[in-house]
Amino acid sequence: MADVLPLVEARLCSALGEPNARAAVTFLGTERIEVLRFQDTGPEGPVVRYATLGMSAQPMSDPTAMLADPVAGPRAELILSVRGGLAETDKVLRPLAVLAASPQVEGVVVAPGASLDVGEPLWPSAPFTSVLVAEPGGLVEDLELDEPLDPVRFLPLLPMTPNEAAWKRVHGAEALQERWLANGTDLRDPSRRPVPLD
């Protein structure tokens, strides 16, 4: 069976351009996770995108299953977009790799609407310790693989403040996203203030 990761990297590069940096993190008992850094200089200023590479090497399996299926199951990579030059966001590489390794380490299935918490600021002085997993398809299209493999989905991550994460647990992901939209929240601002939740 073909190695998935070269296909994933090719899809990322075709959508985001060539990466200008990459880092690899290996956790005990897991496959290596790389984080690729892409620079986008659009009309609204520079945007830096961080994409994981390695999470999709194995399918995610239901944590309640007796045996993990080595072939079938959802596959994904994570993408975080932030405005460049406003914070030390390159320090997000390790927290991102931790999140990408969580299906292997903790047996979780990462899907849209989920919250992922790293338990510490995503980068130095960041007001965020967790992210909301958003719907895929906007930035990088799903990568179809040969049967019987599931496609690789590229899941955007939206940083959440602790208050937003707590509010989301009560009201749901859709309600939080509607609140962000109604307030014109710039989710790429690495030092944005929490959205009003009254």
The answer to the question of residue 192 being in a domain is: no
The domain tally of the chain equals 1
* Interacting residues of 152 by C-beta distance below 8 A, sequence separation 6+: 4, 7, 8, 11, 56, 75, 76, 77, 142, 143, 145
Is 190 within a domain?
A: no
Q: How far apart are the first and last CA of the chain?
A: 52
The runs of H, that is alpha helices, within 44-193 are: 93-106, 162-171, 173-182
The verdict on residue 191 lying in a domain is no
Are the C-beta atoms of 114 and 93 separated by less than 8 Å? Answer: no
Distance (Å, whole) CA 171 – CA 118: 21
**Does residue 194 lie in a domain region?**
no
pLDDT in tens, 24-80: 988 777 778 999 999 988 777 789 999 999 999 889 876 666 566 667 789 999 999
Tell me, yes or no, whether 34 lies in a domain: yes
Average pLDDT over residues 132-148: 90
Tell me phi and psi for residue 197, to 5 degrees: -120, 15
Q: Which residue has the higher pLDDT, 193 or 73?
A: 193
Which domain range does residue 50 map to? 4-182
Torsion of CA 23, 40, 79, 5, to 10 degrees: -60
Please tell me the distance from the alpha carbon of residue 98 to that of residue 94, in angstroms, as a whole number.
6
Contact predicate 52/33, CB 8 Å: yes
Instruction: Give a yes or no: residue 35 inside a domain.
Output: yes
Question: Does the residue 198 lie in any domain?
Answer: no
Summarize pLDDT for 76-135 with one digit per residue, the tens.
Answer: 999 999 998 888 999 999 999 999 998 888 888 899 999 999 889 999 999 999 999 999
In a domain, 189, yes or no: no
